[in-house]
Amino acid sequence: MIRKSCFLLALLQAVVSDEWGANTPRDVWAQMGLCARIPCRYTYPSHLANEPRTGIWYNSEKMDDRHIAFHSLHHSQVSTRFHGRTRLTGDLKSGDCSLVIDNISQQDEGPHFFRVEFDNKNCYNYFPVTWLHVSEFTDKPSIFPAEMVAGKPVKIRCSFNTICNGTAPTFTWVIPTDVPRSGSSSVTQRGDTLTYTSVLTLTPKLNHHGQTLTCRVRYPSVSSAETVTLTVRYAPQNLLIASPDKVNNSWVSVREGNSAAILCSVQSFPASILTWRHLGDTLNTTSSTNKLWLEVPRVTSQLAGVYQCVAENGHGRVERNITLSVEYAPRNLSIASADKVNNSWVSVRERNSAAILCSVQSFPASILTWRHLGVTLNTTSSSNELWLEVPRVTSQLAGVYQCVAENEHGRAERTITLTVEHAPRNLSITSPDMVDNSWVSVKEGDSTMILCSVQSFPASNLTWRHLGVTLNATSSSNELWLEVPRVTPQLSGVHQCVAENGHGRAERNVTITVEHKPVISPESGCTRTSQDITCVCAARSNPPGELTWHLPVANLSRNQTHGRFQAWQVVDGQLVTGSLTLRGGEGEEEATASCTVRNRHGEVTFKVYLWVRGGGFSVWMAVSFSIGVTLAIEVAGFFVYKYIRKRETVTKERGSEMRDATGSCRARSAARQDTESRGKTPPGVGAGQDDGEGEEQCPVYANLRELSGGGAVHGGETVEYTELHFHQRGEGGTESSLGIPPSSNSDSQ
């Protein structure tokens, strides 16, 4: 109520009196992080001049205790966010009510007005309000550099202006790390403007030219900086001479006939005057630049000599000399030796020494290198001659040697072949059909090629031999092919390759094996015992075949058993042998079996028909077989088993007759096998083919191996025998059969 009455009184006084008044701006601008000053002058009735008073600033358009920004009497009533940030810059008794707010933030933006209180009756609010505008911090310091000369101390000043005397800023300098420095700070005021200044004293160096210098002004929450590039004046230094041609500290080398371009450059500020001189004459010059080219369109020997580059500016002078030399690439490279030599080779006897000289013309002197098989043997620099010395020559050192000469202008090279004379060695035999180092495997009827090669110098005479017979030969060549258009079994065996030259001889053997498809062997056939029937299937092939017995209900291989059938198998070299045993028992059993032998070149089949009648173990069997796909034997004859009971005399008579017949057949068979083993077939005789004079029948007694009654003939006992009839047919047939019908129990013969 007191506040309200005081406010009403203030309004009334404003109406009836002009002694209450204030001078404040409508708008004030401040940047975030800096301080803001709101200028304020107020007046009041003179009778209150000596009365105590209280000054209050509100951050609002209304008197709101929550928005008190400053209170001169009770600081605790100030809003929390203004604690420690506001103060008056003048004296209230003198009429100065100016307000300073430190560390301005965006929340401080808005209306502000001043109120004065003398007592409960005399108080006044000064309107209109002042609007405080807050913007981003954009003010930067200013750097005032002085002229810098390398090695001389200089002072650099950095200043920052503000109209608020709140918190003072701090200065930070960012300079090259190797600059000796010292600094000082000051503040001056002109009117409402405060100027904060920092002075940096440093001694610049040549390398500081072009580097940066930064002055940073920092307030509690914001900062800004200004950066300048240092300009350091200094006398010409670091004069350099460069060229696209090779150059070092004292000379430039240019190839004769080429153009030359030599650059003289220097470091200085301000830029120097550059001059090229030769033999006391000025060739060319330039001003206000630190580079000058000397260009020679065509270099001749008369232009060789010393050239001078001079650089000058207001702070000093520097000069440098360079020698121009005329050079050329390596040429006229030659190779010589005490041994026999021509343009492309040097020939040395094995175990002798060798010395080969490589020489070249060039300026400057070349780097010479001897190389062999990509490996550097020896080298020399700054010399135009290089010897290659071999104390003891071996065949491993034979080959192409290369001499290379190089300098900065070019390269020259030449090759020479070192030939080493020696006896034949490292004889090798290779073939597309090679199995290992000593064995060649070829299919019968195919062609083959075998290469014999050797190392020797001079080239050897090569010869292929077989069974002591020369097959082919060549002279002065280290390779010889043995070509066979069609391989036959007669080619099997050891072949020898012999190499000879004037220094010695070498030889090596290779074995040729001929591969072929399976062929049924004469060992194939059937026999019986008192209990069993056993059929043997044997076939030769290279490589050895795989044997399988085929039954109506099963296939048997290796050592397997199925019902009354038992299979067995063994491999011996190129011969594979399998047996099929049908064991006796009660009842009668009839079976058809076949034996198949196959390898990667083909297959052959051997067929068997078997009958077994139990009880007295009377056994009849019939055998048929077929060999291969293109060669087959059809058995058109038949075996007739007769079961006859006779006395011992009759048995002996029949046995004698059967042995005579068997002997005759075996004799012819043996003669044919003997002829076949020699690789020749007599006219009219062939395995599995007609002889041209009709069919041949040959009785074979398969059961002579085992007779009833213990396997021997005894007086008065009955014998069992089998008569086999073979019917042979030509190659067009696909199958041959051997039939054994069961005999009767009659006494017929």
Please report, for residues 58, 454, 503, 723, the alpha-carbon distance to residue 507 in angstroms, rounded to integers and kept in the order given.
123, 9, 14, 59
Which of 41, 124, 122 has the alpha carbon at shortest distance from 88? 41
Q: Does domain 233-326 have CATH number 2.60.40.10?
A: yes
Question: Is residue 186 over pLDDT 80?
Answer: yes
pLDDT higher than threshold 90 for residue 25:
yes
Given CA atoms 388, 392, 396, 398 in this order, what sign does their dihedral have? positive
CATH of domain 338-421: 2.60.40.10
Would you state the pLDDT for residue 585?
A: 64
Q: Model pTM greater than 0.85?
A: no
Rounded to whole angstroms, the Cα distance separating 203 from 83 reads: 46
On the question of pLDDT at 503 being above 80, the answer is yes
| Cβ contacts of 169 within 8 Å, gap of 6 or more | 160, 162, 196, 217, 218, 219
User: Residue 438: pLDDT above 80?
Assistant: yes
The per-residue pLDDT for range 138-172, each reduced to its tens digit, is 889 999 888 888 888 999 999 999 887 778 889 99
Task: For domain 2-135, give the CATH number.
Answer: 2.60.40.10
The H-or-E segment that residue 174 falls in is: strand 170-174
Please state the CATH superfamily assignment of the domain spanning residues 142-230 in this structure: Immunoglobulins (2.60.40.10)
> What is the tens place of the pLDDT at every residue in 671-703?
333 333 333 333 322 333 333 333 333 332 233
pLDDT at 501: 92
- Find all residues with CB under 8 Å of 659, minimum gap 6, and list them: none
Identify the residue with better confidence: 179 or 242. Answer: 242
pLDDT at 12 over 90: no
The owner of tokens 């109209």 is 163
Q: Hey, how many other C-beta atoms are within 10 angstroms of the C-beta on 659?
A: 12
Asked if pLDDT for residue 222 goes beyond 60, the answer is yes
Q: Averaging pLDDT over each range in 99-113, 525-539, 708-722, which range is the top one?
A: 99-113
Q: Sketch the domain layout of the chain as residue ranges.
A: 2-135, 142-230, 233-326, 338-421, 431-516, 521-673+688-723
Of the pLDDT bands very low, low, confident and very high (cuts 50, 70, 90), residue 192 is: confident
Q: What is the mean pLDDT of residues 388-397?
A: 90
Two structure tokens written together for 651: 């048995």
674: helix, strand or coil: helix
Would you call 541 helix, strand, or coil by DSSP? Answer: strand
Which of 11-25, 238-252, 323-337, 578-592 has the least mean pLDDT? 11-25
pLDDT digits (tens, 9 = 90+) for 700-749: 223 323 333 333 333 333 233 333 333 333 333 333 333 333 333 333 32
pLDDT at 651 over 70: no
Digit-coded pLDDT (tens) for 458-491: 899 999 999 999 999 999 889 999 999 999 888 8
Predicted local confidence at residue 208, as pLDDT: 86
Whether the pLDDT of residue 493 is over 70: the answer is yes
* pLDDT on residue 164: 77
Which of helix, strand or coil describes residue 87? strand
What is the rounded distance in angstroms from the CA atom of residue 333 to the CA atom of residue 413?
7
Q: Per CATH, which fold does 431-516 belong to?
A: Immunoglobulin-like (2.60.40)
CA atoms 205, 206, 210, 211: torsion sign: negative
User: Which DSSP state fits 65?
Assistant: G
Which burial class, exposed, middle or buried, applies to 418 when counting CB atoms under 10 A from its CB (0-12, 13-18, 19+)?
A: buried
Give me the pLDDT at residue 474, please.
Answer: 93
**Residue 481 vs residue 553, higher pLDDT:** 481
Question: Can you give the pLDDT at residue 703?
Answer: 31
Q: Supply the pLDDT for residue 564.
A: 84
φ, ψ for residue 4, nearest 5 deg: -65, -40
Above 80 in pLDDT, residue 632? no
Q: What is the mean pLDDT of the chain?
A: 79
- Sign of the Cα torsion 484, 490, 496, 500 reads negative
**Whole-number pLDDT of residue 245:** 84
pLDDT tier at 436, thresholds 50, 70, 90: confident
pLDDT given at position 15: 41
**Which DSSP category does 491 fall into?**
G
Interacting residues of 77 by C-beta distance below 8 A, sequence separation 6+:
65, 68, 71
Q: Count the Cβ atoms, other than its own, within 10 Å of residue 375.
A: 7
Decide whether 233-326 matches 338-421 in CATH topology. yes
State the average pLDDT over residues 350-379. 92
Instruction: Provide mean pLDDT across the span 276-288.
Output: 92
Say which CATH superfamily domain 521-673+688-723 falls into: Immunoglobulins (2.60.40.10)
pLDDT at 353 over 70: yes
Percent of the chain with pLDDT over 90: 47
Q: Which pLDDT tens digit goes with each residue over 566-622?
A: 999 999 988 999 999 888 766 566 778 899 999 999 999 988 877 665 544 444 443
User: According to the model, what pLDDT value does residue 381 have?
Assistant: 87
pLDDT at 642 over 80: no
Least confident of 164-173, 254-263, 363-372: 164-173
